[in-house]
């Protein structure tokens, strides 16, 4: 009898059999792969800036690379919606979504900025070299990429306790959008400089951005110089914000979920029209405004706790503690092992929310 109990104990506490992936959810996975391939395409375009395709100016390589980041955001938002509609959420989707986001919203923006600095840095500063040493530029971009990976890994771990109204730290697609939108805005300036050189430095050139055609060579050069110097520091700040505990509003839940007033719909429609017609300016204003708004709200809520929205918590640990109290099943530790409320040791943890169930999170 004792030998039988020992065998049962060994079987129960022994190494668990590894689960093999027998199938995947095809529709959400293909959409997530679209996100990944957009990031890959952005990297390829950025690397082709020195040898651009036929009839494509170097500035347009980075311009379209930036636009591919926004196309990837559409795929990143769609995979969750499609998965819920088709009831195809899975743990595999969570891992796949994060791997795609690391490439598209982590690596690709850093490659685009590095290519822009290497190519336009010398041209934009005719009186001397680019003012920031290359090793410092590399370090700031490396911090951004590392923080994007850490932010996505943290999201996977905390996805079971994430709040539906806000994120802890800036979402990785939002950070990538800040960089890509500035690149989409700056590349027409670089192209405008080329037009002015062909026109002999004078004359009015019709450009995509309304005020750009009125800029002379000196003004356009100054604008491009400011943008190229700001970008590395911006990426360093965005990397820190991604791994911070700053609260950022979940815009998808706040603006699109549930029923909204007709005025709310008209405002969203107007914003969409403005973005389509003047995306070179509106995307930069929208994404960088979102970044600044999160910082302003964080300072306001820390200074004035009475103004905090419902459900606001200071950290993910506080959110987890609140969920455990609501469920009335806080885990107890017995002999070094977690025990559930039913008293069963080594009970499997609740599976975290899948990315397809949260893919409209803007790709954390």
Token pair belonging to 16: 């668990």
- Distance (Å, whole) CA 173 – CA 176: 5
Q: Where are the domains of the chain?
A: 25-306+353-361
For the CA atoms of 207, 213, 219, 221, the dihedral, rounded to the nearest 10 degrees, stands at 30
The structure's pTM equals 0.79
What DSSP letter does each residue of 209-277 carry, written as one string? SGGGGG--HHHHHHHHHHHHHHHHHHHHHHHHHHHS--EEE-HIIIIISS---HHHHHHHHHHHHHHHH
pLDDT tens series, the chain, 364 aa:
555 555 555 555 555 555 665 566 778 888 899 999 999 999 999 999 888 887 788 888 999 999 999 999 999 988 877 777 777 677 777 788 889 999 999 999 999 999 999 988 877 776 667 888 999 999 999 999 999 999 999 888 877 655 667 788 899 999 999 999 999 999 888 887 777 766 555 544 455 566 666 677 788 888 888 999 999 999 999 999 999 988 888 776 666 666 767 787 788 888 888 888 888 888 999 999 999 998 998 898 888 888 777 767 665 566 666 666 766 654 444 444 433 334 444 444 444 443 334 444 445 6
């Amino acid at each position: 009898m004792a030998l039988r109990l020992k065998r049962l104990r060994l079987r129960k506490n022994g190494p668990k059999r590894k689960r093999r992936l027998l199938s995947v959810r095809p529709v959400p996975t293909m959409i997530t792969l679209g996100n990944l391939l957009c990031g890959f395409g952005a990297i390829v375009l950025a690397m082709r800036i020195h040898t651009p395709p036929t009839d494509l100016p170097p500035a347009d390589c980075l311009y379209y690379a930036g636009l591919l980041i926004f196309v990837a955001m559409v795929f990143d938002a769609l995979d969750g919606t499609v998965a819920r509609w088709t009831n195809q959420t899975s743990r595999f989707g969570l891992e796949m979504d994060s791997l795609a986001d690391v490439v598209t919203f982590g690596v690709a923006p850093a490659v685009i900025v590095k290519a822009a600095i290497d190519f336009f840095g010398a041209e934009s500063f005719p009186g001397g070299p680019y003012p920031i040493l290359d090793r410092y530029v590399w370090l700031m971009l490396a911090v951004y990429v590392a923080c994007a990976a850490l932010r996505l890994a943290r999201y996977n771990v905390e996805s079971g306790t994430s709040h539906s109204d806000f994120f802890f730290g800036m979402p990785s697609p939002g950070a990538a959008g800040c960089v890509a939108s500035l690149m989409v805005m700056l590349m027409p300036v670089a192209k405008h400089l080329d037009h002015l050189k062909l026109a002999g430095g004078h004359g009015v050139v019709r450009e995509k951005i309304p005020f750009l055609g009125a800029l002379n060579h000196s003004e356009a050069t100054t604008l491009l110089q400011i943008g190229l110097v700001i970008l590395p520091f911006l990426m360093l700040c965005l990397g820190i914000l991604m791994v911070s505990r700053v609260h950022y509003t979940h815009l998808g839940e706040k603006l699109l979920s549930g029923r909204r007033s007709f005025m709310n719909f008209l405002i969203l429609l107007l914003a969409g029209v403005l973005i389509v017609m003047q995306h070179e300016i509106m995307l930069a204003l929208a994404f960088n405004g979102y970044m600044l708004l999160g910082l302003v709200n964080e300072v306001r809520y820390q200074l004035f706790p009475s103004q905090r929205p419902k459900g606001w918590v200071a950290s993910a640990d506080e959110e987890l503690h609140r969920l455990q109290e609501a469920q009335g099943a806080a885990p107890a530790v017995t002999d070094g092992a977690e025990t559930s409320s039913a008293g069963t040791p080594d009970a499997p943890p609740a599976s975290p929310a899948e990315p397809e169930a949260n893919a409209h999170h803007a790709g954390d």
